[in-house]
Structure 1
Amino acid sequence: MCRPGWAQARVTARRLDDLTRMRRVRDRIDREYAHPLDVLELARTADLPPALLTRQFRLAYGASPYDYLLTRRAERARTLRLHGAES
Structure 2
Amino acid sequence: MTIEDLVRLRRARDVMDRDYAEPLDVPALASVALMSPGHFSRSFRAAFGETPYSYLMTRRVERAKALLRRGDLSVTEVCFAVGCTSLGSFSSRFTELVGETPSAYRARRHEAGAAIPACVAKVFTRPVRNSAGNRGAGSAAAS
Q: State the TM-score bracket (shorter-chain normalisation).
A: 0.7 to 0.9
Higher RCO (Cα < 8 Å, 6 or more apart): 1
For normalisation by structure 1, the TM-score amounts to 0.76
Ranges in structure 2 where 5+ consecutive residues have no aligned partner: 73-117, 119-143
The one-letter code matched in structure 1 to 2:31 is: R
- Number of the residue aligned with 1:55: 42
Number of residue pairs matched by the alignment: 73
Percent pairwise identity: 49
Question: What pairs up with 1:19-38 in 2 under 5 angstroms?
Answer: 19-38=6-25
Instruction: Measure the CA separation in 2 of the matches of 1:32 and 1:83.
Output: 21
> Is the helix fraction higher in 1 or 2?
1
- Number of the residue aligned with 2:32: 45
Partner SS for 2:45? helix
Structure with the greater alpha carbon radius of gyration: 1
Ranges in structure 1 where 5+ consecutive residues have no aligned partner: 1-13
Instruction: Measure the CA separation in 2 of the matches of 1:55 and 1:40.
Output: 13
The runs of at least 4 aligned residues of structure 1 exceeding 3 Å deviation read none
For normalisation by structure 2, the TM-score amounts to 0.48
Please provide the CA RMSD for this pair. Answer: 1.7
